[in-house]
Structure 1
Amino acid sequence: MATLSLRWIGLTVAAGALLAILGPFGSYMNGGPIRLLSYWIGAMLLGLVLYGSAYRIVSARAAFGSRIWLGALVGATLLASIPEALVTRAVAFWLWPELMQLRLPLPVWFAQTATIGMIAMAGVGFALRRSASASRDDLAGLPSTGPIVAPLGGDVLALQMEDHYVRVHRSTGSELILMPLGRAIETMQAEGLRTHRSWWVATHAVTSVHGNARSMRLLLSNGVAAPVARSAVTRLKAAGWVAHDENRPADGKR
């Protein structure tokens, strides 16, 4: 994780230096290479925080590459561009007071900021899509028998199928991994049950059971509610997750 963060910081600094050399939107006329480098590298590092947070939030709530994901990412990029534009505008006026005389409207500054943000997001999305495609090709070349060793370390609370991906729910958040749900379940060492066609839940993650056989859901320790298919209720009863009285947990706590 630390290596990956350092890699993104390095790429961000390099991108800032490149923008300082190119001087987009007339910034090359501001002069002062040190100030240009400081401004653009600082702006890009701020963008890494804002746009990176936006990207993680969207990816945690929508399947990567889906229409919902794409629309949410555009909206999140525009929202992240608001503080980015306000901060960079204030810093630019401080570094180059003469810019204030140009009376550049804030909407124009925002449009310029959002343009760079959209380009950066598109670049990141393209790079991750290629990485996902490469991973899919690697998985396709593996034998169909035997479990796939997956990076599912840590305290996994539940697995949720989303198209060709599996969302791994943990106490600290969630992540998407390119893998069939069945293969992901095979890699799990913790005890658990398949509660739904698209869900697997770890035994220790269940804090309470709500509903009845017609509409049942499990509340997990991270606050996520996992659905229970009618056909899975019998398995949950046999495992002691649900009492024979369907409206209450077997131990009165879950």
Structure 2
Amino acid sequence: MDDKARKHGGTAALRRWTIDFSMLAGIGLLMGFLGPFDSDGAPVVGRYVYWMICIVGGGLIGIAADEVLRRRITIPWWRVATVSVLMTPPVTLLVLVTQHLTVDQPITWRAYGWLLWQVWPIMLAVMAVRALVWRRARIVVETRTVIAPPLPEAEVAFRRRLSAKRREARLIAIEAHDHYLKVHTEVGAELITARFADALNELARAHGWRVHRSWWVAADAVEAVQWRRGVGEMRLAGGLTVPVSRTYGPVLKEAGWF
């Protein structure tokens, strides 16, 4: 690894730890302000110090455990639950020692066992908040590909079906209905009487794809393609949105849209 890559990795790690520490400190200040578990009766400064130690110190223990388990448990919320359970015993010991040092609470097994059930839900909440902070946004693939202009003769047969106004217009898409087609062009849409199968045959050499059982689109009219959970959506020139079925998804993948 060169110096530049090493420096970048160190900067990213420092940024991550800074965000984690800031998050924990914020939760610690909130707990100090709320004063749960009868801590509101303690002196203000002592209450804030106590909660900052417990939340920041306990959170750092949980983060260390989370980093160890990251590669073994890839599902984030399963890892949150597992880490919260594993971190509770050492964090409980930290809380018990902190209570002993701040309010002279005796360290006993009974106190330790009683604290376990208070510490676990708090640590679960802390790690859940951290998981939300670092949750990755859903990735939507949106790409653009360069399409060569269609051959002049490729659309001639089909264009003869259109009115004079739209015969020379840019073809955007064809939408099939029961016994007619809705032809979308850059100067508006037009209804014609024709079978979808005949239109596909006449446009076989044109630059375009059938993307749904009732849709054909011109390749140079495609502006963006989105694919999520096995269902696609295509945005065309003029603001037209067209569905992409799972059946015809591979056609677009082969064309370079996915």
Larger radius of gyration: 2
- The TM-score normalised by the length of structure 1 is 0.47
Kindly indicate whether structure 1 or structure 2 has the higher relative contact order, using CA contacts under 8 Å at least 6 residues apart: 2
- The TM-score normalised by the length of structure 2 is 0.46
